[in-house]
Structure 1
Amino acid sequence: MTDLGISLALLATTVLLCEATRILISRLFSGKDYAIYLVEIVSTYQLCACTHELKVLGEVGRIEPHIALTLTFIITVVHVITFHGAFANPNGAIENVYRKNITGKTAVARIICMFIGGKAAQLLVPHIWSLGLSDHHLTHKRFGFKCFSPINGSLLEAAGVELACTFAVQAAVLHIHKLDERFHAPVIAAVITSLVYSGGHISGAVFNPIMAFSVQFPCSGHTFLEYAFVYWLGPVTGMAMCILLFDKIIPLLSGKSTMGIPVVRKKIQ
């Protein structure tokens, strides 16, 4: 089996195992308030573990850009479909506190669960790579699983890219209800894939604080605070600016209210 085939098999296995776990959780803890916290951990693990594999496939496996973008689109669709109400992104929790869908206490608990899921992926995925299932896994192991910062511009430029990407995704999420539900996942995936293509060469185009914590923060090249500035402050600011624009400024200028407009919960990047 080729290296690409092995990576695809690992991605599929990760998703299937996580989906089986979510189904088991829903059956064992049906009606329990804490079930969503377990789903949050599993879904965030799925997101980060798959991203770890895609990252090493691109950086070590050197796959063609069009293949990488195709995989990004497909796996994003899969994430959106399978997350079962999990946010897997702190921005989703923060937004839902603002909209009074969840309490601040619940949001904090779910964000903690996200960190647990992201850290679990960060710790467990290298053990899978250690099995040497493919040449790029062996190469990555030979160099101690080291990775390097994807930031190729200044910190301000990188933070600006993360802000702009998050703004675009948030805008898509706010207006996706206008489309037939069957188009939600592919449209969101298309937006994310386009942003990865546009901004990936500057910041990596992560626009998800938890995914950045799991995948990018361990990489050499910048300090924790520098990464936090780019990958935490940038996305949170982008989300806040988008909500301010569409929920406050535009309605104020047009004399219309956004009350009653359904909002799709952001589940991933």
Structure 2
Amino acid sequence: MKFTIDVLGIFLKVVVRVNKVTFAPLVVSTLFILLTSLLAHCARRLVQKTIKEPFIRLLLEEAIAAAELCGCCFELIIVADNFGVATYAIYLFALTIWWSLNWGDATACPYTHIEDIIEGRGDIRKAFIKTWAELAGGILVFKYVQMYWALEISETHKNKAFEDCTADLQVPALYGAIVEGVATCLCRLASRSLSDLNPRYSTAIDSFIGTSLVVAAFDYSGGYFNPVLATSLKAGCDGHTLMEHAMVYWLGACAGSVLSVYLYKLPVIQKYVRGTTEVNGDSIWADKED
């Protein structure tokens, strides 16, 4: 606890000094994202060292991962609103790589547990418990974000802490569900293919594909592709009902994920994946020589 307080104190001194000297709100947002990632990393290490029961440890890791994801993405909203979607995409690309390298078995995403059930690697009871752990982490982290925004260190945080939020859904709910579903399906197909192909820089490639799809869907549904993330950031916001929110961000994303499981088993896709690993390409494949 003392370490966390010391880190927070140093962080606040740095951002106040930077902001007064350079008036760089983007630096303030960047430092907040770094702080959030650092605190989550420390919490994850603490859990791994102190919790011996594997399932309890995984539940805590899921909650931490969801809190880190949602905490960073709350600030990414500020980045997108003030510095553009291109800047947002750069940050998201880098963060996705960081999360892939640090989360371990945690996913912070409910539909991955549904995929495990379909493929015989999990059960419904544990999937529900994992989902509740993720929702708890994603929802509770807003108090942490709100505390920081209330300091109004940067002009971009003025009145944000208690501001009424607005939905990102810019199309009818059915169209939004289709956008979220199709994009989620493509993301999961890409991730599965990269996992089997095991190319060099697979994490960066996966992050690039995911970020590109998020940007493509940004002006339609917001491009969340994760029910916990969407619920943490946008449930109850003006612009859609809770039923529409559930249809777009839960039903749409989960349907796309389930569809990807069955599409990936199709012979045409399996033939491509097996054929790619057998053809002697040049640079990115992990076990091929340049």
Q: Which has the larger radius of gyration?
A: 2
Alignment gaps of 5+ in structure 1: 259-269
Closer, same or farther in 2 for the Cα pair 1:64/1:39, shift >3 Å? same
Q: Aligned residues, how many? A: 250
> Take 1:14 and 1:158, find their aligned partners in 2: how far apart are those partners?
30
Does structure 2 conserve the Cα–Cα contact (< 8 Å) formed by 1:126 and 1:145?
no
Of 154-163 and 182-191, the range deviating more from structure 2? 182-191
Task: Work out which of the residue numbers 230, 235, 238 in structure 2 matches 1:217.
Answer: 235
Which is bigger in relative contact order (C-alpha 8 A, separation at least 6)? Answer: 1
CA distance in 2, matches of 1:155, 1:73: 27
Bigger Cα displacement from structure 2, 176-185 vs 216-225 = 176-185
Matching of residue 35 in structure 1 with residue 57 in structure 2: yes
C-alpha contact 2:188 2:260 (8 A) present in aligned 1? yes
Out of 73, 92, 105, the position equivalent to 2:93 is 73
User: Deviations 1:22-75 (Å, cap 9, x if unpaired)?
Assistant: 11111111354311111111011000111111012322xx10332111111111
- Check the 8 A contact 2:59/2:130 in 1, yes or no: yes
Q: Where do residues 153-168 of structure 1 align in structure 2 (5 Å cutoff)?
A: 153-168=171-186
Residue identity in the other structure for 2:263: L
The one of 109, 129, 136 equivalent to 1:109 is: 129
- CA offsets 1:150-174 (integer angstroms, 9 cap, x no match): 1111112211110111011110121
Shift of 1:131: 1.4
Q: Deviations over 1:122-142 (max 9, x none)?
A: 33311221111211112424x
1:53-202 equivalence runs, <5 A: 53-59=75-81, 62-141=82-161, 144-180=162-198, 183-202=201-220
The match for 1:10 is 32
Contact 1:159 1:234 in 2 (8 A): yes
Q: Determine helix, strand or coil for the equivalent of 2:228.
A: helix
SS of residue matched to 1:147:
coil
Q: Matches of 1:255 and 1:184 in 2, distance apart?
A: 18
Q: Distance in 1 between matches of 2:269 and 2:181?
A: 25
C-alpha separation between the residues in 2 aligned to 1:241 and 1:31?
A: 33
| TM-score (normalizing by structure 2) | 0.81
Give the Å deviation of 1:218: 3.4
Counterpart CA distance in 1 for 2:164 and 2:79 is 14
- The Cα RMSD (Å) is 1.9
Q: What amino acid is the match of 2:106?
A: A
Q: Match for residue 228 of structure 1? A: 246
The code of the aligned residue for 1:126 comes to: Q
The code of the aligned residue for 1:229 comes to M
User: One-letter code of the match for 1:107?
Assistant: A
| Structure 1 CA distance for aligned equivalents of residues 236 and 269 of structure 2 | 46
Aligned-pair identity in percent equals 26
Letter of the 1:27 partner, please give it.
K
TM-score by length of 1: 0.87
Q: Which runs of 4+ in 1 moved over 4 A?
A: 253-256
The equivalent of 1:47 in structure 2 is 69
1:200 Cα offset (Å): 0.6
1:22–1:42 contact (8 Å) kept in structure 2: yes
